[in-house]
Structure 1
Amino acid sequence: MAKIENGRQSADSRSIRTISSSHMDDESSLGSDSEMNGFTNDRHTDKYGFIGGAQQYSEESAQDVPPEVLRQREVKWLDMLSNWDKWMVKRHKKVRLRCQKGIPPSLRGRAWLYLSGGKVKREQNRGKFEELDSQAGDPKELDVIEKDLHRQFPFHEMFVSRGGHGQKDLFRVLKAYTLYRPEEGYCQAQAPIAAVLLMHMPAEDAFWGLVQICEKYLPGYYSAGLEAIQLDGEILYALTRRVSPITYRHLEKHKIEPILYMTEWFMCAFSRTLPWASVLRVWDMFLCDGVKIIFRVGLVLLKCMLGTREKLNACQGQYETMELLRTIEPRYMQEGFLVREVLDVPISERDVESEHHVQLKRWRKNRGELHWKSPPRMHGARAIMASEPPSRQDLRQNPTIIVESPLPAPQLQKREKKGKEEKKSIKKESMKKTPPVTEIPNPYNLPGDPQLPLRDPHEKNWNNPCFILDSSHSLTHSLTLRPSACQPSPLSLYQALAQLSHIPATGCTMANVTAAQLWATIVYFSYDFYSACF
């Protein structure tokens, strides 16, 4: 710890790796004994499953969604989850918008599994979790995991009992990951990530969700040396300069390294920092849009806590600044406020990647190559889905979930019938052909001359004017018009158009003539008729 506080030097890998758990040990161990003896059967549990005051700001900061709105959102999410691939490919913006509004609690676990790509990963590796679960594992890793179990949300009903089903499942998930990625092993910051997933899904799904977060969303975060988290700290530091220059200057003035305040934020995805209502909303957006959401949340907290002169006057040194960042004001973590601010931060995945290249180049210049070669980071659900090889496409086409809709059966059938009728009508309109046009009789025919013949263009009989179209229109015959009528005969126009379009003149009607051909012919005839008469 001392090495990091004195400058931007590379610290011992083990000391850096446990930096994220220093706050965890101090805070969560306070309730480790009370979880066995301090509660009775009539203990109060909030709607998130927390007992007592462990999440004192959760209900205060939570936004109450009306039941009817919640039911409507559930129906929409059921439709999306039943046609997941189609929605992700064609209507991803709508999926993102619904994630920003908040995933319904009843479907959050399933939605997270699909957003992260954990469902596809599970289908690709059927039986893998059971195989890993049946193995013994490394005793050293298991000993560390065992010591960390009681520290993970000790006031949540799933993990309140030592040796209960929640702690057992957490142990299984973490042990399976150490066997799945033995070169990476176990990192203490993985435990809260796995615990959050277990609150919403079974152990096997939580395992694959953890795999996806570690491999796709936050690659290299939990490896020895934690080079990836240090690199992202430099990225956050640079982005702070763009979002809040006053905050950046203050941190630079007091030489406060990003690793000191952002490690727990990023490695635990704010699960140990924010009220639970805000944690869930941040995770909804994080699993949809990727790590840029984590950067945005960090930037919002830095800006709110250090972005004004009044606040900076209260922290004139490094210690005061660190204490301020450790005890963030509840109003800045409130669900509605935080989500609005996060969505307003002008930082995209392109900005993150651009700054990543800059900081990586600087890292290599000052420290050399990275020791841990992590896979490329995927920015959200769509990028993860697009990265699937074509040979695996069939796995994604299976129905995702089968859940009964909360709508009554008659209302659901009526809704489905209406949707089918709308699709049929749209398809019918798109395939609709132009109706046949009835033949228009010639209003200018004379009794003795029902149809004016086409004449030879070389015939020089000017008693009746002869108008010739140029050869570019492939019409080599002229059309005879009667000056006394002052208009061309429509049937003669049909015959001319028949020559123009290579349509037989016999039986030529308006139905054989396109609008463009008719208009072109009228323009030419109008010009030639005017020239001949005058």
Structure 2
Amino acid sequence: MARIQQGNGLQSSESKSFKGTTESLAKHEDNSSDSDVNGIDNEVQTDKYGFIEGAQQYSSNSAEDIPPEILRQREAKWLDMLNNWDKWMAKKHKKMKVRCQKGIPPSLRGRAWLYLSGGKVKREQNPGKFQELDSQPGDPRWLDVIEKDLHRQFPFHEMFVARGGHGQQDLFRVLKAYTLHRPEEGYCQAQAPIAAVLLMHMPAEDAFWGLVQICEKYLPGYYSAGLEAIQLDGEIQFALLKRVSPVAHRHLKKHKIEPILYMTEWFMCAFSRTLPWASVLRVWDMFFCEGVKIIFRVGLVLLKCMLGTQEKLKAYQGLYESMELLRHIEPRYMHETFLVNEVVELPVSERDIEKEHLAQLRRWKETRGELHCKSPPRMHGARAIMTAEPPSRQDLRQNPTIIVESPVATATTTTTGNEGGRGSSAEDEKGKKSKRKKKTGKEEEREKEQEQKQAQAQTADAVPPPPAAEGPSPFPALAEPEDIPSVLGSLQSLSSVEHDTYL
């Protein structure tokens, strides 16, 4: 029977909706497909992102299909980057940034996000932390609020369409674990769509660490009580708008439209509930690489496009009309190609944001006093996060979830492992040569004596000695211990499909 795992923090008296849903899922126990478990009829068509076709803007057909050969090339490049992450971050960060702007391949997007955000390092440095939090009951005041929000997160996506489905269960686990990880912060409703987007691309544990990094490094203070950090960033964006689009700035100021009215959902949800899905993914690719400046740029581009000319503003004289305009942004401005190009070209840097941040912070203290939320300084992108907390090579090492034994490797091991085998590999011969070079004079004499004894045994039709009791060595072709890491690396490369099932 399909049921929620013990340790999710759901008590029978607190989760009537989950109980009813999971019991209804038991009727389809014989069907093992994910679509059945999540409550989707097999006849319902979904797009390549998992959204039910025609249900909402996320399933729009504005996404541009990349030719397969180009996609394969990009996948190979990203696999190389993931295998040599520290070198790329240190020496080729600009090229990595360009590749993020072009879009991360769908098959590697979840893994790339985890590396960019530093979530991979956090997970390796805190083994078993998520499982520990997942097994705890949680604070009842947050559990009730989280449970009520589950069905509101992307209800037309195949992962979250059913109450009590796998998607909603994992979303509950991630959000509950965060409230235990940061009890002083608790839960904010805007965290739910962030966690849901992560779960579409990675397992629950990875999504938890991705959420931790977004809340602590990229957008610190956004989800604290009082929302002071988001208000402060609203003032920063409004000041930057004066430089980017004076016309839009004057219009908003004239009608006293406060930034908090239109940019709260944009920033707190990282545009995941505003843009078409193809654009959401492209924005997140750049966001994880370059930091919060991408969120600022996207907001500035939308304001500039919708309110940047006097002709457009003639029909929108007033607060209500202007707000309606910003709630219904024209699709052409949200198309991924147009939006990404505008975001990349917009002249707003990290230095501009930090300079304006200090100015608005002084103004805040003069008018409102000290900030109540003492959030850590935010990191502007993947490089800043890695520089602040340098990882070890072990932290960056790819740990496969599924290890597939290579037929070639198995055949080589069998051939070289049997005593008196017919064909030795090139590595075996190389190892033997390196051993011969290290032989001393006494060892050479012993070797000659052994050869003479073997020759005598062969002439006397001696029976060959029985095989050793121990099995073949796991590395039979290696002559020196220092060669073992190279073989380990080649075996691990067989598992390059880590998490690729979470597309």
* TM-score, normalised with respect to structure 1: 0.67
Query: Within the alignment, does 1:186 sit opposite 2:187 as a pair?
Result: yes
Partner of 2:303: 302
Question: Distance between the aligned counterparts of 1:228 and 1:56, measured in 2?
Answer: 29
Q: Which has the larger radius of gyration?
A: 1
| 1:62-87 Cα deviation digits (max 9, x unpaired) | 11111100000000001100111111
Rate the CA distance shift 1:240–1:404 in 2: closer, same or farther, 3 A. Answer: farther
Aligned length: 370
Secondary structure at the counterpart of residue 130 of structure 2 = helix
Secondary structure at the counterpart of residue 224 of structure 1 = coil
Are the equivalent residues in 2 in contact too, given 1:217–1:380 (CA < 8 A)?
yes
Task: For 1:72, give the aligned amino acid.
Answer: Q
Partner of 1:195: 196
| 1:186-214 Cα deviation digits (max 9, x unpaired) | 00000000000000000000000000000
Are the equivalent residues in 1 in contact too, given 2:125–2:395 (CA < 8 A)?
no
Rate the CA distance shift 1:67–1:55 in 2: closer, same or farther, 3 A. Answer: farther
| 1:429-451 Cα deviation digits (max 9, x unpaired) | xxxxxxxxxxxxxxxxxxxxxxx
Secondary structure at the counterpart of residue 197 of structure 1 = helix
Rate the CA distance shift 1:293–1:37 in 2: closer, same or farther, 3 A. Answer: closer
Question: Distance between the aligned counterparts of 1:181 and 1:290, measured in 2?
Answer: 22
Partner of 2:319: 318
Partner of 1:341: 342
Secondary structure at the counterpart of residue 221 of structure 2 = coil
| 1:169-197 Cα deviation digits (max 9, x unpaired) | 00000000000000000000000000000
Task: For 1:210, give the aligned amino acid.
Answer: L
Q: CA deviation at 1:61?
A: 1.8
Are the equivalent residues in 2 in contact too, given 1:82–1:400 (CA < 8 A)?
no
Question: Distance between the aligned counterparts of 1:314 and 1:56, measured in 2?
Answer: 25
Question: Distance between the aligned counterparts of 1:325 and 1:154, measured in 2?
Answer: 23
Question: Distance between the aligned counterparts of 2:255 and 2:106, measured in 1?
Answer: 43
| 1:333-387 Cα deviation digits (max 9, x unpaired) | 0010000110111000010000000000100111111001000000000000001
Question: Distance between the aligned counterparts of 2:295 and 2:375, measured in 1?
Answer: 19
Task: For 1:367, give the aligned amino acid.
Answer: R
Q: CA deviation at 1:314?
A: 1.2
Question: Distance between the aligned counterparts of 2:299 and 2:231, measured in 1?
Answer: 15
Are the equivalent residues in 2 in contact too, given 1:122–1:205 (CA < 8 A)?
yes
Task: For 2:95, give the aligned amino acid.
Answer: K
Are the equivalent residues in 1 in contact too, given 2:133–2:177 (CA < 8 A)?
yes
Rate the CA distance shift 1:74–1:38 in 2: closer, same or farther, 3 A. Answer: closer
| 1:10-37 Cα deviation digits (max 9, x unpaired) | xxxxxxxxxxxxxxxxxxxxxxxxx999
Partner of 2:163: 162
Question: Distance between the aligned counterparts of 2:206 and 2:370, measured in 1?
Answer: 35
Q: CA deviation at 1:303?
A: 0.4
- Stretches of structure 1 lacking an aligned partner (at least 5 in a row): 1-34, 410-534
Partner of 1:218: 219
Partner of 1:280: 281
Question: Distance between the aligned counterparts of 1:333 and 1:218, measured in 2?
Answer: 23
Partner of 1:41: 42
Rate the CA distance shift 1:142–1:306 in 2: closer, same or farther, 3 A. Answer: same
More displaced stretch, 57-66 vs 160-169: 57-66
Are the equivalent residues in 1 in contact too, given 2:39–2:165 (CA < 8 A)?
no
Task: For 1:209, give the aligned amino acid.
Answer: G
Rate the CA distance shift 1:176–1:245 in 2: closer, same or farther, 3 A. Answer: same
Question: Distance between the aligned counterparts of 2:341 and 2:38, measured in 1?
Answer: 41
Are the equivalent residues in 2 in contact too, given 1:55–1:275 (CA < 8 A)?
no
Question: Distance between the aligned counterparts of 1:204 and 1:231, measured in 2?
Answer: 31
Question: Distance between the aligned counterparts of 2:124 and 2:284, measured in 1?
Answer: 23
Are the equivalent residues in 1 in contact too, given 2:38–2:165 (CA < 8 A)?
no
Q: Spell out the pairing of 1:435-450 with structure 2 (5 A cutoff).
A: none
Secondary structure at the counterpart of residue 187 of structure 1 = coil
Question: Distance between the aligned counterparts of 2:131 and 2:350, measured in 1?
Answer: 36
* TM-score, normalised with respect to structure 2: 0.71
Q: Spell out the pairing of 1:50-89 with structure 2 (5 A cutoff).
A: 50-56=51-57, 58-89=59-90
Query: Within the alignment, does 1:240 sit opposite 2:227 as a pair?
Result: no
Q: CA deviation at 1:259?
A: 0.1
Rate the CA distance shift 1:309–1:167 in 2: closer, same or farther, 3 A. Answer: same
Query: Within the alignment, does 1:127 sit opposite 2:128 as a pair?
Result: yes
Partner of 1:352: 353
Are the equivalent residues in 1 in contact too, given 2:39–2:161 (CA < 8 A)?
no
Partner of 2:148: 147
Are the equivalent residues in 2 in contact too, given 1:36–1:162 (CA < 8 A)?
no
Fraction of identical pairs, as percent = 79
Task: For 2:190, give the aligned amino acid.
Answer: A
Question: Distance between the aligned counterparts of 2:93 and 2:287, measured in 1?
Answer: 15
Rate the CA distance shift 1:36–1:306 in 2: closer, same or farther, 3 A. Answer: farther
Q: CA deviation at 1:400?
A: 6.3
Q: Spell out the pairing of 1:364-375 with structure 2 (5 A cutoff).
A: 364-375=365-376
Q: CA deviation at 1:403?
A: 9.6
Question: Distance between the aligned counterparts of 1:180 and 1:300, measured in 2?
Answer: 35
Partner of 1:393: 392
Question: Distance between the aligned counterparts of 2:386 and 2:267, measured in 1?
Answer: 23
Are the equivalent residues in 2 in contact too, given 1:292–1:348 (CA < 8 A)?
yes
Q: Spell out the pairing of 1:430-509 with structure 2 (5 A cutoff).
A: none
Rate the CA distance shift 1:402–1:98 in 2: closer, same or farther, 3 A. Answer: farther
